[in-house]
Amino acid sequence: MFASVYDDVLRRNPGETEFHQAAREVLETIGPVLAKHPEYVENKIIERVFEPERQIIFRVPWEDDRGEVHINRGFRVEFNSVLGPYKGGLRFHPSVYLGIVKFLGFEQIFKNGLTGLPIGGGKGGSDFDPKGRSDREVMRFCQSFMTELYRHLGEYTDVPAGDIGVGQREIGYLFGQYKRITNRYESGVITGKGLSYGGAQVRTEATGYGCAFFVEEMLKARGSSFDGRRVVVSGSGNVAIYAIAKVRELGGVVVACSDSSGYVVDEKGIDLDLLKQIKEVERRRLSAYAERRGTDVATYVPGGNVWEVPCEVALPSATQNEITGRDAEALVRGGCIAVGEGANMPTMPEGVRVFREAGVAFGPGKAVNAGGVATSALEMQQNASRDSWTFEFSERRLQEIMSDIHARCLETADEYGMPGDYVAGANIGGFKRVADAMMALGLI
Ligand code: NDP
């Protein structure tokens, strides 16, 4: 039966390899829950969950600073709204196509289910590359993108946020254009906003902090902690920076991080202020970190693979499929005991197999990086009640949510006879919540 569902996914979504991979991973783990709930099978819950409710593809024309016209493609996949309005970020990166958006939207359904909050799953983006573009160009692109997308959004309909290439700058321009077109100050229509116009404390930090909190729970479950541990984080964007920050507070030493052009090793521990200055403020390459930190302290390896750096804890926080089977073997050989996916699906299936066989604690993105979307839901809650919480209170809420997700994963894995398997726990826990709601709402 699974084979036929998977064949159907392949047939209906040709060439969308990332979506196939995400679908397969879920299908491989939900068998026990279907065996226990024949009503899900009778009502074709799996077939329905694999088919997005709506897929939107649109043209995004814009003009660069020299007056040259560019045409990009925009996407929004509104995957499942059984638990709440579609919720999931926008990615601006040249690699974006329907298959990436679908994989991300699909993962988002279960991730959002796992948080226990009232949010459905969706994702969007464009093949636009913000790298090297001026602020004005990024603004014009965002305005054009929103000029089409706005008609599909709404605080009760579909609520985007950031992802790769979409940070607070882009969210501001997108929200500004939405406000202008609709003549409504509908704060809850987008999350990740700046604090001066309806943003929530800790949203910027949430995914990275949440990742560190989750991994701390995984280590605790094994009688250990971050204290004094050697940590490697891939990426140096939003998730990576705040994962590094929280790991450091929890006692770990982050010795390496990367960007799309290479990686940097800093045995004294990554200097967070310098990293933020270079990546967030100056938007420069990581090589500038080593230059400014001093080459006697930090080494930059152009084009290198950050997983060559031995560590006890690995937090892949850049992009999908960045840890191959061979990388996973190298990590295990180097003494890695825990992996927490800050990014979405950064570990390839062979890598997951290697970690599992080696007994490495492996936290999948659906659970580990759910702190971002959970805090987005808290931002929506604050917008709806015209309230704003303190940093301390918001961080406490995030920590509780991550600890609950961790417990839910372990309990679910236990209940279905796969103790300690966070992948099964996350997939089944998220799926079950969505499936129950789909059953209750009838065939829609
Ligand atoms: P950012 O754009 O802020 O940072 C991405 C980082 O990863 C950058 O350092 C970038 O390098 C690097 N990177 C991106 N693509 C590639 C690639 N193809 N090869 C190598 N390096 C790459 O994105 P985020 O930090 O927001 O997102 C990172 C991951 O976390 C993504 O998988 C995203 O889906 C996931 N995620 C993000 C959430 C959020 O709240 N932001 C929530 C949940 C998941 P460079 O600087 O050179 O571009």
Q: Which atom of ligand 1 is the closest one to the Cα of 240?
A: 25
Residue 124 DSSP SS3: strand
Query: From CA 384, how far away is CA 381, in angstroms rounded?
Result: 5
Average pLDDT, the chain: 97
Residue 131 host element (H or E): none
Q: Is 125 in the pocket of ligand 1 (CB under 6 A)?
A: no
- Please tell me the number of Cα atoms within 13 Å of 429 on its side-chain side: 27
Structure token digits, residue 408: 């839910």
Q: Is 138 left (phi over 0), alpha (psi -120 to 50) or beta?
A: alpha
CB 191 within 8 A of CB 203: yes
Q: What is the pTM of this model?
A: 0.97
- Angle at the Cα of 106 from the Cα atoms of 102 and 110, rounded to 5 degrees: 165
CB 139 within 8 A of CB 173: yes
Instruction: Please give the pLDDT value at position 86.
Output: 98
The C-alpha torsion from 79 through 80 and 85 to 86, rounded to 10°, is -20
Amino acid at residue number 374: A
Look at ligand 1, atom 17, and give the residue with the nearest C-alpha: 260
Residue 387 DSSP SS3: coil
Q: Is 238 in the pocket of ligand 1 (CB under 6 A)?
A: yes
Instruction: Please give the pLDDT value at position 434.
Output: 98
Q: Is 112 in the pocket of ligand 1 (CB under 6 A)?
A: no
Indicate the pLDDT class of residue 295, thresholds 50, 70 and 90.
confident
Q: Which of 340, 318, 131 is nearest to 236 (CA)?
A: 318
Indicate the pLDDT class of residue 2, thresholds 50, 70 and 90.
confident
Query: From CA 361, how far away is CA 25, in angstroms rounded?
Result: 18
Q: Which of 250, 242, 249, 279 is nearest to 264 (CA)?
A: 279
Structure token digits, residue 416: 């279905």
| Spacing, Cα 2 to ligand 1 middle (Å) | 32
Q: Using one digit for the tens of pLDDT, what is the confidence trace for 136-175?
A: 999 999 999 999 999 999 999 999 999 999 999 999 999 9
Query: From CA 333, how far away is CA 357, in angstroms rounded?
Result: 13
| Spacing, Cα 7 to ligand 1 middle (Å) | 31
Q: Using one digit for the tens of pLDDT, what is the confidence trace for 421-440?
A: 999 999 999 999 999 999 99
Q: Is the pLDDT of residue 374 over 90?
A: yes
Q: Using one digit for the tens of pLDDT, what is the confidence trace for 190-219?
A: 999 999 999 999 999 999 999 999 999 999
- Of 87, 102, 111, 123, the catalytic one is 123
CB 122 within 8 A of CB 76: yes
Q: Is the pLDDT of residue 312 over 80?
A: yes
The answer to whether 123 is a known catalytic residue is: yes
Length in residues, the chain: 444
Q: Which atom of ligand 1 is the closest one to the Cα of 162?
A: 41
Q: Is 317 in the pocket of ligand 1 (CB under 6 A)?
A: yes
Q: Using one digit for the tens of pLDDT, what is the confidence trace for 342-372?
A: 999 999 999 999 999 999 999 999 999 999 9
Sequence-distant (6+) residues with CB within 8 A of 9 are 19, 20, 23, 50
φ and ψ of 20, to 5 deg = -60, -45
The structure tokens 């005991």 sit at: 337
Q: Is 144 in the pocket of ligand 1 (CB under 6 A)?
A: no
Instruction: Please give the pLDDT value at position 409.
Output: 98
Residue 81 host element (H or E): none
Q: Is the pLDDT of residue 1 over 60?
A: no
Q: Which domains does the chain have, with CATH numbers?
A: 2-186 (3.40.50.10860), 206-363 (3.40.50.720)
Q: Is 164 in the pocket of ligand 1 (CB under 6 A)?
A: yes
